[in-house]
Amino acid sequence: MSSLLKHILVGKPKPTAAIPHQRLGIPAALAVFSSDGLSSVAYATEEILLVLVVGGSAAAALSLPIGLAIVVLVFIVAASYSQTIHAYPSGGGSYIVSKENLGVHAGLVAAAALLIDYVLTVAVSAAAGVAAITSAFPRLHGYEVSLSLIAIWVIAVVNLRGVRESGAVFSVPTYGFIGAIFLLLGVGLLRVVQGDWHPPTPPLAGFGWGGDLDSLVGSVGMFQILRAFASGCTAVTGIEAISNGVQAFRPPEADNAMKAMRLERTLMYTMFAGITLLAFGFQAWPKEDETVLSQIAREVFGGGFFYYTVQASTAMILLLAANTAYADFPRLSSFLARDGFMPRQMANRGDRLVFSNGILVLVSLASILLIVFGGSTHLLIPLYVVGVFVAFTLSQAGMVVHWVTLREGRWIHAALLNGVGAFLTAVVLVVVAVTKFTHGAWIVVVLIPLIVLAFLRVRHHYDVVARRLSLEGAARPKIGKNPVVVLVAGIHKGVVGALEYAKSISPNVIALTVDLDPTQTAKLLLKWAEWSPDVPLVVLESPYRSILQPFMEYIDRMERQGDGCYLTVVLPEFIPSHWWEHFLHNQTALLIKAALLFKPGKVTVSVPYHLGD
């Protein structure tokens, strides 16, 4: 049944030879890797205004210079990551760049920050998407967590079906959102040109035309302005995704990835700047029951078909923005697993040639976050930005070291660009960490070193295992007459088969039975002489009616006698015809296997006897 359900949800397995055919063209790759970055423009302006609201309606003018600063930041960071793609066409992003140029620990810090970021991307995107839905349909208020959980698990199933399949599914809503936003901006800016807008009075006071810039800044406070900038930097998130997934593009991979990066960058800052301007012009302020983007669309279109088109496309892109994390979290986890810093299973591809274990871990962690924080975007976003800029800063600093070490071509120009990017992202990181520390950023600051310690602990485990398994100094195995113990509770076809198997692997065979019922034990001894007289049967006393304790004590005595390097325990097991029939029988064999698992030199062998119908 489980196999049938998996086949229906995920699809038929794909052969390893099909991996090259799973590559993406630029349109599909933009939908897979850029949905996070593109969707963040839907709520970045609102996060700025949410902080500026303390200064009154005139403080909205400050959103314009703050937005302009963020646009410049988007341009520089995207240009810096374009150079990363060119220098590291095999992908890996911040983790690979930091590890190779700044050292293993810097790489692990970048990886930990990115993994946190990807989990938060899923949670924030789902929460923001549901917020857009509840803005249009207020009756759904109160169901945010449930709707968010349904959304992220549906996206997980789509991603488990394969990279090409997820690209095909998510292309329509991604380009639908882009079209809807540009329609909104076009109509909205037309109304601006016609003078049909109502910015706060005095107009553009934040730029000084009203003569009260100092008083406006004073009414808000420099710390609050920095907080607003830090909140708006969510518009920069997702830029690194393309550099992590270069190998998912069709050849030439690096060239196509750079084209996608340039396209993403242009779309991001154009849409963000336009939304910020319209929010100022139409006095759209954050409300508990309606998003800023919804207010703009309602003002521009007056409700009706186009308003609901914007809301529907926004909800879809926000929900599907999580797809960027579904693409990059498993890929980054596979890099870490390959280097021994995460469990090996994270490097394994599933039936559909995706890193399915990583997808399942990601959606499980995001589900926990949504439940803990009640599906609130505003509570999740302060956690969101810190990890992003940690990775940005380390990656750009690593690229500076890369160019200075390489010294080829226009390396000075490249190092300068990455240096500016590293400086700016470092400044933003400090601003974000300080201004949002008490609002939840401290959680990420604490989590990053803990995750790095976990990485190192996993690597230490694998190093120890490698040393213990090394053949250096090992002697060649010798064939001996190691003892074999067969545990029996009676004499039947399953036991006879197990005894025959035991005698085939060693001449040194004994049988053990635990005396729980003297009458049954006496009957067993009588039959034993008839069916297996050549195998000694040892009866163990059990005054407390335990099978495991006297059995383990006997095994320990055999170990002290030192008879052979290994002791094999053969367990006769009969297999019922139906799964539910297992519950009608004792599971003694499982207890014995668990008890012997951690004892060196002990081998357990189950000899099944299938009962049939």
Q: What is the pLDDT of residues 26-40, one digit of tens each?
A: 888 887 788 778 888
Q: Any bridge partners for residue 537, and if so which?
A: 511
**Residue 300 shares a structural domain with residue 174:** yes
Q: Any bridge partners for residue 298, and if so which?
A: none
pLDDT in tens, 53-101: 766 666 677 888 888 988 988 888 888 888 888 888 876 578 889 999 9
Q: Which positions ≥6 away from 43 have C-beta within 8 Å?
A: 128, 131, 234, 291, 292, 293, 318, 377, 381
pLDDT, residue 210, reads 43
Domain boundary among 431, 462, 493: 462
pLDDT above 90 for 251: no
pLDDT bucket at 204, cuts 50 / 70 / 90: very low
pLDDT, residue 211, reads 44
Q: Is residue 469 part of a domain?
A: no
**Residue 546 shares a structural domain with residue 400:** no
**Residue 450 shares a structural domain with residue 525:** no
- Which DSSP symbol is given to 250? P
d(CA 96, CA 370): 30
Q: Is residue 544 part of a domain?
A: yes
| N-terminal to C-terminal alpha carbon distance within the chain | 19
**Residue 403 shares a structural domain with residue 504:** no
**Residue 368 shares a structural domain with residue 496:** no
Q: Is residue 185 part of a domain?
A: yes
Which helix (H) or strand (E) segment holds residue 251: the answer is none
**Residue 95 shares a structural domain with residue 178:** yes
**Residue 508 shares a structural domain with residue 442:** no
Q: Is residue 251 part of a domain?
A: yes
Could you tell me the CATH number of the domain that includes residue 180? 1.20.1740.10
**Residue 294 shares a structural domain with residue 337:** yes
Mean pLDDT along residues 337-353: 85
Could you tell me the CATH number of the domain that includes residue 518? 3.40.50
pTM of the model: 0.74
Q: Is residue 474 part of a domain?
A: no
Residue indicated by tokens 């620990």: 105
Between these two residues, 92 and 337, which has the higher pLDDT value? Answer: 337
Mean pLDDT along residues 101-111: 94
Number of CB atoms found within 10 A of residue 328's CB: 30
Region class of 242: left (phi > 0), else alpha (psi between -120 and 50), else beta: alpha
pLDDT in tens, 565-610: 788 999 988 777 777 766 666 677 888 888 888 888 888 998 888 8
Q: Is residue 470 part of a domain?
A: no
Q: Is residue 479 part of a domain?
A: no
**Residue 386 shares a structural domain with residue 502:** no
In this structure, of 193-207, 274-288, 418-432, 490-504, the range with the lowest mean pLDDT score is 193-207
Q: For the chain, how many residues are written?
A: 613
Range of the domain at 586: 484-610
Mean pLDDT along residues 231-260: 82
- Which DSSP symbol is given to 25? -
Residue indicated by tokens 């029939």: 581
Q: What is the chain's mean pLDDT, rounded? A: 82
Q: Is residue 471 part of a domain?
A: no
Per the structure, the count of domains in the chain is: 2
**Residue 50 shares a structural domain with residue 93:** yes
**Residue 445 shares a structural domain with residue 526:** no
pLDDT, residue 5, reads 63
Query: Among candidates 439, 44, 433, which has minimal Cα distance to 238?
Result: 44
Domain boundary among 432, 462, 492: 462
Asked whether 315 and 102 are in contact (CB, 8 A), the reply is no
pLDDT bucket at 180, cuts 50 / 70 / 90: very high
Distances (CA, A) of 364 to 69, 368, 446, 451: 36, 6, 21, 17
Query: Among candidates 13, 122, 9, which has minimal Cα distance to 359?
Result: 122
Mean pLDDT along residues 416-421: 89
**Residue 310 shares a structural domain with residue 217:** yes
pLDDT above 90 for 456: yes
